[in-house]
Structure 1
Amino acid sequence: MNITDSNDLNEETLDTLNKQEHEVAAFGIGTYLVTCYAQAALGCVFKLVEINNQPRMKLSEDVSKVSIPCKKRCFRLYGRGGYPLIDIMTGENESPPKVSHIFV
């Protein structure tokens, strides 16, 4: 089994880990690879959802990190004034949200 470590890794963390004995085979570095400490960054993760048309999901003890195994589509809905109201994620085969005359 290979161990992959990720979650807001930076060079300090990598240096500390490398000074210890560890069995990490790979590191997932994203946010700090393209931003600097002085600037805020949006932490987001792209997760594998399918290989060769077969759904895949991430398992984790932290329920908020478990993925839903299917391709997805995202929609941003806007109010009358052009301001964003909500983001909606649906399965690839689900119908997109419909325009309504009901506004929040």
Structure 2
Amino acid sequence: MQARFARGIAQMPLTVAARESLLAEKAAMPEVGDLVTVCSQDMETEFSVRLTAVAGPELWYGVIHAITRGAEMLVVAEGLELDDVVSVRRQEIASVVKANHHH
């Protein structure tokens, strides 16, 4: 996962080592609006990212919606903060919560 725009200490390009997770063949392809989970390499930190735009084949831009480590909710982890804009590759997505596109 790579920061496209990060505040605070991350005023330069920042990459967070994310654990690659092969989604099951039947898993739905993520779409803009979906909430996806990206886990750090150590599997202790999880980033919930709301996808906001397609950035390329199997690559999306999104905004960090929540950061958790175990039961603890965080505001900052690995140099990233809530509301930072990141790019996420499909291989990094551990789970997908489909957005309700029917309003």
Give the TM interval when normalised to the shorter protein: under 0.3
* TM-score, normalization by structure 2: 0.21
- Structure with more contact order per residue of length (Cα contacts < 8 Å, sep ≥ 6): 2
Greater Rg by CA: 1
